Amino acid sequence: MADSYARSLISSAQLNRARGKIVYRIVLTVVIVIFTLIFIGPLYFLFTDGLKSTQEAIAAPPTLYPHALHPSSYSRAWGEFSLGRLLLNTLYYAFGALAFQLVFDVAAAYSLSRLRPALGNVVLAMMVATLMIPAMVLIVPLYITVAHLPIVNISLIGSPAAIWLPSVANGFNIFLLKRFFDSIPAELTEAATIDGASPLRVLRSIIIPISRPILAVVSIFSLVAVWKDFLWPLLVEGGFNPPRETLNVGIWTASQTAPENMVLAASAIAAVPTIIFFLIFQRNILAGLTAGGVRG
């Protein structure tokens, strides 16, 4: 399947006939136009409606483009909702969670895959089993635990650790990483061990460089997950001044009181980093989707 085009429902022979070509051209054009309208259309309004004045934004019928440009709603939204602050918060949470996940989950998967401690299988099974527990179901006991950590008796509410540490408990990371580490030939690591390399050295110099693709997948999805999460950051970081929320929660809070044009401007600003991120990493993201072993 490498070089020859994998054929699909309709054969190339059928498409190469004169009628087939015309039909294909029409279908292609219609699909491109409709898909652009459906998926880019709303984004067009997201970005242009923020440029309208407050009156124009709630005028009936709605205008298709801003009749008078008001870029000030963007700058006002940026200032009044402290979007810069929210953006920094979100980056801080997302990259912090990424760092914790990479350190702890990679170390754990390495240990389970290569060092194989006693009862490692039980630990692995219990970690992977958490994939079966829907996240929303645990939101209440998780909140109570984070608000009052057992044994050490401290509360993580309002601290970034409330987002960072629970993100480490991700069965999918462990599953993906361990499966990838298992596929690395044992000879590579054994040779290093015989030469006297410590387990940490083996992890750093052999396993991690080989595992770049899977680390990229895990990293991207962990960043996106923190960026998109809503209820959890609302519960643990909401209601502080200066705000400690994520952008996602912050623009919702702002929408409760602010006029429409400013809400839309804020939503547009919040969308920009994710769109840029997607355009840069789209290849990895689209490929990573099928990395979870969902194959036909």
Q: How far is the CB of 292 from other proteins (least distance, A)?
A: 9
For other proteins, give the closer residue by CB, 7 or 212.
7
The window from 69-77, 91-99, 210-218, 260-268 that contacts other proteins (CB under 8 A) reads 260-268
In this structure, the number of other CB atoms found within 10 A of the CB of residue 110 comes to 21
Q: Which of 104, 128, 115, 109 is nearest to 211 (CA)?
A: 109
Interface of this chain with other proteins, residues 68 to 97, rule: CB under 8 A: none
State which of residues 196, 209, 242, 296 lies at the interface with other proteins (CB under 8 A).
Answer: 296
For other proteins, give the closer residue by CB, 88 or 275.
275
Interface of this chain with other proteins, residues 29 to 58, rule: CB under 8 A: 31-32, 35-36, 38-40, 42-43, 45-46, 49, 57-58
Helix %, strand %, coil % for the chain, to 5?
75, 0, 25
Between helix 83-100 and helix 247-255 the angle, nearest 10°, is 150
What is the C-alpha end-to-end distance of the chain, expressed in Å? 15
Q: Which of 229, 267, 295 is nearest to 94 (CA)?
A: 229
Residue 185 interacts with other proteins (CB under 8 A): yes or no? no
Interface of this chain with other proteins, residues 214 to 253, rule: CB under 8 A: 224, 227-228, 230-231, 235, 247-249, 251-252
State which of residues 96, 175, 216, 225 lies at the interface with other proteins (CB under 8 A).
Answer: 175
State which of residues 96, 160, 199, 259 lies at the interface with other proteins (CB under 8 A).
Answer: 199
For other proteins, give the closer residue by CB, 18 or 118.
118
Interface of this chain with other proteins, residues 118 to 147, rule: CB under 8 A: 118, 120-121, 123-128, 130, 132-146
Q: How far is the CB of 158 from other proteins (least distance, A)?
A: 15
User: Residue 18: how many CA atoms within 13 Å on its side-chain side?
Assistant: 0
Q: How far is the CB of 14 from other proteins (least distance, A)?
A: 9
Q: How far is the CB of 227 from other proteins (least distance, A)?
A: 6
Check whether the bond before 242 is cis (ω within 30° of 0). Answer: yes
Residue the block writes with tokens 């009052």: 148
Give the separation between CA 53 and CA 60, rounded to whole angstroms: 14
Give the separation between CA 283 and CA 213, rounded to whole angstroms: 12
The window from 65-73, 91-99, 209-217, 262-270 that contacts other proteins (CB under 8 A) reads 262-270
- Give the chain's radius of gyration (CA, Å): 25
